[in-house]
Amino acid sequence: MQKIKVGIVGGTGYTGVELLRLLAHHPYAQLHAITSRTEAGVPVAQMFPSLRGVVDLAFSDPASGILNECDVVFFATPHGVAMAQAPALLDKGVRVIDLGADFRLQDTAVFEQCYKLPHACADVLKNAVYGLPELNREAVRQAKLIGNPGCYPTTMQLGFYPLLKNNLVDAGQLIADCKSGVSGAGRKAEVATLFSEASDSMKAYGVSGHRHTPETLEQLRKMTAQDVGLIFTPHLIPMIRGMHSTLYAKLLPEAQHLSNEDLQSIFETTYVSEPFVDVMPFGSHPETRSTRASNMLRIALHRHGDTVIVLVVQDNLVKGAAGQAVQNMNVMFGFDETAGINMLPVMP
Could you tell me the fold of the domain covering 152-316?
Answer: Dihydrodipicolinate Reductase; domain 2 (3.30.360)
- Residues forming a β-bridge with 277: 297
Distance between CA 208 and CA 185 in Å, rounded?
Answer: 18
Q: Which sign does the torsion angle of CA 332, 334, 335, 336 carry? A: positive
Q: Using a CB cutoff of 8 Å and minimum separation of 24, what contacts does 251-258 make?
A: 251/168, 251/169, 251/170, 251/306, 251/307, 251/308, 252/167, 252/168, 252/169, 252/170, 255/167, 255/168, 255/169, 256/306, 258/168
Pairing of strands 59-60, 29-35: parallel
Active-site positions read 151
pLDDT band at residue 332, thresholds of 50, 70 and 90?
very high
Would the pLDDT of 212 be above 80?
yes
pLDDT tens digit sequence for 103-143: 999 999 999 999 989 999 999 999 999 999 999 999 999 99
Query: What's the whole-number mean pLDDT along residues 151-172?
Result: 98
In this prediction, residue 312 carries a pLDDT of 98
Percent above pLDDT 90 for the chain: 89
Cβ atoms 72, 143 nearer than 8 A: no
Mean pLDDT of the 244-254 span: 98
Per-residue pLDDT at 25: 94
Give the residue from 26, 31, 27, 42 showing the smallest Cα distance to 8. Answer: 31
Q: What is the pLDDT of residue 209?
A: 86
Position 334 scores a pLDDT of: 97
Question: What's the distance, CA 233 to chain centroid?
Answer: 18
Q: Could you tell me the residue ranges of all domains in the chain?
A: 4-127, 152-316
Burial class (CB in 10 A: 0-12, 13-18, 19+), 135: buried
C-beta of residue 70 within 8 angstroms of C-beta of residue 10: no
Backbone conformation region of residue 242, classed left if phi is above 0, alpha if psi is from -120 to 50, else beta: left
Band of pLDDT at residue 331, cut at 50, 70 and 90: very high
pTM for the model = 0.96
Q: Show Cβ contacts of residue 259 under 8 Å, excluding neighbours closer than 6 positions.
A: none
Note the pLDDT of residue 176: 98
Give the closest residue to 19 by CA, choosing from 320, 322, 292. Answer: 322
Give 73 or 183, the one with higher predicted confidence.
Answer: 73
Residue 319 CA to its chain's centroid (Å): 6
Q: Are 3 and 30 in contact (CB under 8 A)?
A: yes
Q: Do the beta carbons of residue 128 and residue 145 sit within 8 Å? A: yes
Asked if residues 234 and 215 have their Cβ atoms less than 8 Å apart, the reply is no
pLDDT at residue 335 above 80? yes
The one-character DSSP state at 13 is S
Q: Which H or E element spans position 198? A: helix 195-198
CA pseudo-torsion sign 288, 314, 191, 214: negative
Fold designation for 4-127: Rossmann fold (3.40.50)
